[in-house]
C-alpha cells in the first residue's frame, strides 16, 4: 500500500464516525423527549465502552488480515474460526499498514453495532445494562464475525475452499455492523419487551411518534458523510480497490440512499396520503445500509436499483413488524439495519461479476441468522438475569432522563400528560 493511499484511507476513517453521530441523533429523535438525554448519553457511553473493550479483548479475538487464527480441518478443508491476535493491541505499530487501517475501521464498526441495538431499546432499556450488553458485543460477538469475514476466517475463505466467488464479501460492514446490530436489536426488543401502552390488550398498537423530526433528518444528512467515507475506506481495505474506483463507490453510496428515499417517499405518500418524515428517514438509512454491502461492487444503475428495493420494503416491514409481530422497535432497526443489510449482501452477490458469489453471500447470511442471533439472544438473556435490562414501571412513566440522570434534556419544556399511561 502506497503512502498516498494509506494517508487517504486514514483520513477517510477519521471522518467515518460521523455516521455514528448521525445514527445517535436519529435514535434520540425517534425516542420520547423525556428520554432524550439518556439516549444520547447512552450512545456516547456505548462508543466509549465498545472502544475500550474492543481494544482490550475484541481486537485479539478478531485478529488482523493475514494474522494468526485458530483452525480445524474438516472434509479436507481448513476452517479458520477464531482470531489469535495479541491482546491489548500489542505490536500494533509494527503491523503492516493495511492491518492497522483494518483495525481502525473496526473500532467505529463495533460502536455502530452497539448503537443500533441501543436505539431499539429506547425509553425502557437501562443505561448500565445497555453498556454491559455493548461490552459483550465488543468482546466476543462482533470480533467473531469480524474474524470470519475480514481476517481470513472461514467465510472469507469460501472462494478458496469451495470456489464460491471471492468468498463472502462485506466491504462496508453491512454484515458485521448492520445485520449484527439489527439482529441484536431484535434480541433486545424481545428481552426488554414493548414500551408500556404500546400494545393495548384490545385494538391496534398505539403510535408513539419520535419527539424530534429535525434531529432525525439532520442525523440522516450527517450519516451520509460518514457512510461515504466508510464505504470508500472499506473498498480499499477489504477489496484492495484502486484510487480510481473510489469516486464510483461514493456515487453508488449516494445513489443507493437517494433511490431508497425516493421509493419510501412514494410508498408512504401512496399509503398515507402524505410522505412520512420518520419512515422516509428509515428509508434513507436503509439505502445507506444496503450500500455498505454493494456500493463497491455494483454499477451505478445496480446501486440505484438496490436502493429503490430497500426503500420500498423498509416502510412496509416497519409496519408489518409492529402490527403483525408486536415488535416495539422505536428506531426501526430490525427493518432498517438487519433486513436492508441482508438485502444489500444478496444484491452484492447478484451484481458481483464472480461465479458462485451469490451462494457465498447466502452462506454468510445463514451464519448471521443461525449463529449470531441465537448467540446474542442467549448471552443477553443471561446478562438480563444478572443485570436487569428493563427499567422499573415508574421509571418508564417519568422518563429515562429523570429516572437515570436526575434531569431532563429540555428542562424548561412543559411536560404533557401521556395518554398511553391512563
Interface with another protein by CB under 8 A: which range of 237-245, 289-297, 363-371, 385-393? Answer: 363-371
Asked if 190 touches another protein (CB under 8 A), the answer is yes
- 365 binds another protein, rule: CB under 8 A: yes
Q: Find the part of the chain contacting another protein (CB under 8 A) among 245-253, 262-270, 321-329, 406-414.
A: 321-329
Dihedral angle, C-alpha 18, 21, 27, 33, nearest 10 °? -140
Q: Which of 146, 179, 317, 327 binds another protein (CB under 8 A)?
A: 327
What do you get for the CA distance between the two ends of the chain, in Å?
Answer: 63
Q: 100-129: which residues touch another protein (CB under 8 A)? A: none
Shortest Å distance, C-beta 222 to another protein: 32
Nearest CA to 419 out of 397, 402, 399 is that of: 397
- 77 burial level (CB within 10 Å; 0-12, 13-18, 19+): middle
DSSP 3-state of 250: helix
Q: Residue 316 interacts with another protein (CB under 8 A)?
A: no
Number of residues counted as binding another protein (CB under 8 A): 25
CA distances in angstroms from 61 to 8, 82, 134, listed in the order given: 27, 6, 16
Q: Which of residues 264 and 361 has its CB atom nearest to another protein in the complex?
A: 361
CA 227 from chain centre, in angstroms, equals 12
Residue 362 binds another protein (CB under 8 A): yes
- Phi, then psi, of 199 in degrees rounded to 5: -120, 90
Cα 415 to Cα 212: distance, rounded to the nearest angstrom: 15
Which span (15-23, 44-52, 247-255, 360-368) binds another protein, by CB under 8 A? Answer: 360-368
Other CB atoms within a 10 A radius of the CB of residue 311 amount to 31
393 binds another protein (CB under 8 A): no
Task: Kindly tell me which residue out of 96, 247, 301, 370 binds another protein, with binding defined by CB under 8 A.
Answer: 370
Among 219, 78, 54, CA closest to 146: 54
382 is written with which cell numbers? 443471561
78 near another protein (CB under 8 A): no
Residues comprising the chain, all counted: 422
| 356 in contact with another protein (CB under 8 A) | yes
Stretch of residues binding another protein (CB under 8 A), selected from 238-246, 286-294, 350-358, 387-395: 350-358
- Closest to another protein by CB, 218 vs 377, is 377
Identified binder of another protein from the candidate list 48, 214, 325, 387, rule CB under 8 A: 325
**Interaction of residue 162 with another protein, rule CB under 8 A:** yes
Q: How far is the CB of 355 from another protein (least distance, A)?
A: 7
Q: Identify the CA nearest to 139 among candidates 110, 115, 164.
A: 110
Q: Which residues are at the interface with another protein (CB under 8 A)?
A: 74-75, 158, 162, 190, 199, 325-327, 355-356, 358-359, 362-363, 365-367, 369-371, 373-374, 377-378
Amino acid at each position: 500500500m502506497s503512502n498516498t493511499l494509506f494517508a487517504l484511507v486514514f483520513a477517510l476513517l477519521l471522518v467515518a464516525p460521523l455516521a455514528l453521530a448521525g445514527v445517535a441523533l436519529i435514535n434520540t429523535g425517534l425516542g420520547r423527549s423525556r428520554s432524550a438525554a439518556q439516549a444520547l448519553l447512552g450512545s456516547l457511553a456505548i462508543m466509549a465502552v465498545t472502544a475500550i473493550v474492543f481494544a482490550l479483548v475484541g481486537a485479539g479475538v478478531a485478529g488482523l488480515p493475514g494474522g494468526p487464527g485458530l483452525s480445524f480441518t474438516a472434509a479436507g478443508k481448513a476452517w479458520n474460526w477464531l482470531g489469535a491476535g495479541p491482546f491489548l493491541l500489542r505490536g500494533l505499530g509494527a503491523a503492516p499498514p493495511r492491518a492497522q487501517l483494518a483495525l481502525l475501521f473496526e473500532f467505529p464498526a463495533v460502536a455502530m453495532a452497539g448503537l443500533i441495538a441501543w436505539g431499539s431499546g429506547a425509553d425502557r432499556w437501562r443505561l448500565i445494562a445497555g453498556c454491559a450488553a455493548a461490552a459483550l458485543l465488543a468482546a466476543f460477538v462482533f470480533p467473531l464475525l469480524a474474524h470470519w469475514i475480514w481476517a481470513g476466517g472461514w467465510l472469507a475463505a469460501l472462494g478458496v475452499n469451495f470456489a464460491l466467488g471471492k468468498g463472502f464479501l462485506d466491504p462496508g460492514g453491512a454484515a458485521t455492523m448492520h445485520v449484527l446490530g439489527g439482529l441484536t436489536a431484535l434480541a433486545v426488543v424481545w428481552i426488554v419487551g414493548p414500551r408500556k401502552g404500546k400494545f393495548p390488550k384490545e385494538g391496534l398498537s398505539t403510535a408513539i411518534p419520535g419527539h424530534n423530526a429535525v434531529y432525525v433528518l439532520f442525523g440522516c444528512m450527517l450519516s451520509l458523510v460518514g457512510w461515504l467515507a466508510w464505504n470508500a475506506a472499506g473498498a480499499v481495505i477489504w477489496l484492495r480497490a484502486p484510487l480510481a474506483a473510489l469516486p464510483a463507490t461514493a456515487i453508488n453510496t449516494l445513489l443507493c440512499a437517494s433511490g431508497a428515499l425516493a421509493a419510501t417517499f412514494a410508498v408512504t405518500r401512496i399509503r398515507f396520503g402524505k410522505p412520512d418524515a420518520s419512515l422516509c428517514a428509515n428509508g434513507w438509512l436503509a439505502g445507506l445500509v444496503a450500500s455498505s454491502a454493494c456500493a463497491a461492487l455494483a454499477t451505478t444503475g445496480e446501486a440505484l436499483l438496490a436502493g429503490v428495493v430497500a426503500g420500498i420494503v423498509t416502510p412496509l416491514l416497519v409496519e408489518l413488524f409492529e402490527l403483525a409481530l408486536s415488535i416495539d422497535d422505536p428506531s426501526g432497526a430490525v427493518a432498517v439495519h438487519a433486513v436492508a443489510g441482508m438485502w444489500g449482501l444478496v444484491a452484492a452477490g447478484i451484481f458481483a461479476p464472480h461465479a458462485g458469489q451469490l451462494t457465498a453471500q447466502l452462506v454468510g447470511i445463514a451464519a448471521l441468522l443461525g449463529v449470531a442471533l441465537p448467540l446474542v439472544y442467549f448471552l443477553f438473556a443471561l446478562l438480563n438475569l444478572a443485570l436487569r435490562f428493563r427499567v422499573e414501571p415508574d421509571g418508564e412513566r417519568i422518563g429515562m432522563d429523570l429516572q437515570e440522570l436526575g434531569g431532563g434534556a429540555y428542562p424548561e419544556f412543559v411536560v404533557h400528560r401521556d395518554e398511553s399511561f391512563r
